Chains A and B, each alone.
Chain A
Amino acid sequence: MRFIVCVKQVPATTEIGIDEGTGTLIREGVETIINPFDEYALEEAVRLKEKVGGIVTAISMGPPQAETTLRDCIARGADEAILITDKKLAGSDTLATAFALSSAIRKIGNFDLIICGKQAIDGDTAQVGPGLAEKLNIPHISYVKKIETINSNHIKVHRLMEDGVDILESSLPALVTVVKDINVPRLPSLKRMILAKKIKITYFGLQDIGVDPSKVGLIGSPTRVIKVTHPPLRPSGEKITGNIEEMAAKLVNKLSKAGLI
């Protein structure tokens, strides 16, 4: 079977600046990591491959330096890696990103399952996975916490909901996005790290995947960030301390003063 994992290189920190002009994140000069949710996606793909056989392809869209993230994917078990990179892609929103990814995946050809992290920790949109499935016209299931069974044309998964778990089945090919409950990602092995240094990463530009430049980048992205603001800080609460009797007395006192009891 062929498993495709979509990965994103993200800033290693959550304290990141925002470009006032474009409303996009300032990524220059910040230490980067593989998006943590994508690690779970990759691990799941590698486990499935170990179980049923096949190959794992990691794919990313980003600047040339995203290659380091793809090499990390090889070290963690991916068999091959593809980087979609083109200056014209800069500023792509989730729609444009899903479109570019879908074009690259169409170019790859046959696949059975696409696995994405539930969201990236920088943009936090959780839209690219489902958007990609729509562009490819395949079913998708998000927030998957367990893949129970998989065979050549069918998958059964557990979806994490706020109030419980849904057990769902889908035909293949399909796309799933995964939550961190799904597995504990392995560490890269030394042999694979050495291999990852040497392996050739495939580069795709817009021309390679037949994408019209007007459909991607800032101009191809209908989403406009109007303004970015910090949420107001929630005022800190008051902690009542003491033994149980003292705490109860203080609480009753406060509530009655406030006219609530």
Chain B
Amino acid sequence: MNSFDFFLDEEQRMIRDLARKIAEERVKPIREECDEKERFPWEIVRELAATDLFGIYIPVEYGGMGKGMFELSLIIEELSKVDAGIALCLAGTALGVIPIIHFGNESQKKKYLPEISKGSMVAAFAITEPEAGSDILTLQTTARKENGFYILDGTKHFISNAGEAQIYTVFATTDKAKGARGISAFLVEKGTAGFTFGKKERKLGIRSSPTRELIFNNCKIPRESLLGREGMGLMIALRTFDLSRPGVAAQALGIAEGALEEAIKYARERKQFGQSIISFQSISHRIAELASEIEAVRALLYNVCRLIDSNPRGKFTKESAMVKLLASDLAMKTTIEVIQILGGYGYMKDYPVEKMMRDAKITQIYEGTNEIQKNEIITAIIREFAKKK
């Protein structure tokens, strides 16, 4: 579909077109298999790295392309048009890497970022626990200091990229008495003694992206694994979400676009009652409405990304939450309607739209449920109003 000209510069157009090519030529042929067999797409990680896209947002001095969240979102959007689960190899890694870029010290950056840029490792972000979902402050995982080391104990679950990732940004309580200021973030490498993986979850969608438990049992990590300072964990997590949520929005937008494209293709070809079903108003108006909403969300997403990139240290919690909320709801709505347009065919696995619907649902849930996004938005609004007085 032709979209509005969003005044992408020449390099942004190159990035988008290259990502589109990878999605069409490399992702599409494996999407069904990766979904069916729950297989992690390492070949796509390598392809993205070989084309310089895997580290697009990583600073140049660490082997990346030094671009921003906008360029990252463009790639996630293009990949997600074809397969939002496979897009997670990039997006899930970014979630684990953003804390290193923004809060890591020089030696942490030097150690991990070039490997990520090269695609020789992927990363993961581990905050969620069985008893701590939206309520982050109830984290049970602890990190206690001992002879210049930290000892991690506890279980993380629902961790994307788990098992495949080499490096994990893990959140744990260093001082329970301090509450929100008692949480710290650590970089933990796969293979560390006392760090194992629990069961792999069987999921509705994004099945090519592994979701597993991380189990820390008397896991001794060096002091240098601490990200930022002790007690900064919650701030690091919230800040990371502010930066990463547009990525979820891009993923959701991609799903919606990919699904709508399937609907248009189908509706033009499918004949019933002697004519293409796109000539029926009930179909064509639905498509017209969805296409308009997609453009509106895209306009918001690109603007939020530009806002973030114009000052990555600025404040954009509200904007980032808004676009995640709207994009993910639109992805869900679009995929459901698109299946209806395809009728029985849409319900079958011969067409990709049932998978798109399954993949869409998670975007309303992870990196903060949409209910949490609304809390973030209203908190920001109330704060803005209070300031005016």
Contact = CB atoms under 8 A, between A and B. Distances in A.
30 contacts: A186-B50, A187-B18, A187-B21, A187-B22, A187-B25, A187-B26, A187-B47, A187-B50, A187-B51, A188-B18, A188-B51, A189-B50, A189-B51, A189-B52, A190-B11, A190-B14, A190-B15, A190-B18, A190-B51, A190-B52, A190-B53, A190-B56, A190-B65, A191-B52, A191-B65, A193-B14, A193-B18, A194-B11, A194-B14, A197-B10
Interface in B38-56: 47, 50-53, 56
Contacts of A197: 10
Interface of B: 10-11, 14-15, 18, 21-22, 25-26, 47, 50-53, 56, 65
Interface string A114-137: 000000000000000000000000
A192 B47 CA distance: 15
Contacts of A187: 18, 21-22, 25-26, 47, 50-51
A96 B10 CA distance: 38
A191 B65 CA distance: 8
A34 to B, nearest CB: 14
B52 to A, nearest CB: 4
A191 B60 CA distance: 11
B225 to A, nearest CB: 32
B349 to A, nearest CB: 25
A187 B52 CA distance: 11
A191 B53 CA distance: 10
Contacts of B26: 187
Interface in A172-213: 186-191, 193-194, 197
Task: In the A-B complex, list the 10 residue pairs whose CB atoms are closest, starting with the nearest.
Answer: A190-B52, A189-B51, A189-B52, A191-B52, A193-B14, A187-B51, A187-B21, A190-B51, A190-B18, A189-B50
Contacts of B51: 187-190
Contacts of B22: 187
B66 to A, nearest CB: 11
A109 to B, nearest CB: 32
Contacts of A194: 11, 14
B17 to A, nearest CB: 9
Nearest to A192: B52
B151 to A, nearest CB: 43
B64 to A, nearest CB: 11
B76 to A, nearest CB: 15
B119 to A, nearest CB: 12
A99 B2 CA distance: 44
B62 to A, nearest CB: 15
Nearest to B10: A197
A201 B11 CA distance: 20
Given A187-B22, A190-B11, A190-B56, 17 more contacts: A186-B50, A187-B25, A187-B47, A187-B51, A188-B18, A188-B51, A189-B51, A189-B52, A190-B14, A190-B15, A190-B18, A190-B53, A193-B14, A193-B18, A194-B11, A194-B14, A197-B10
Nearest to B49: A189
Interface in A145-191: 186-191
A195 to B, nearest CB: 11
Contacts of B65: 190-191
A50 to B, nearest CB: 12
Contacts of B15: 190
**B10, B11, B51 pick with most chain A CB within 10 angstroms:** B51
A187 B44 CA distance: 12
Contacts of B52: 189-191
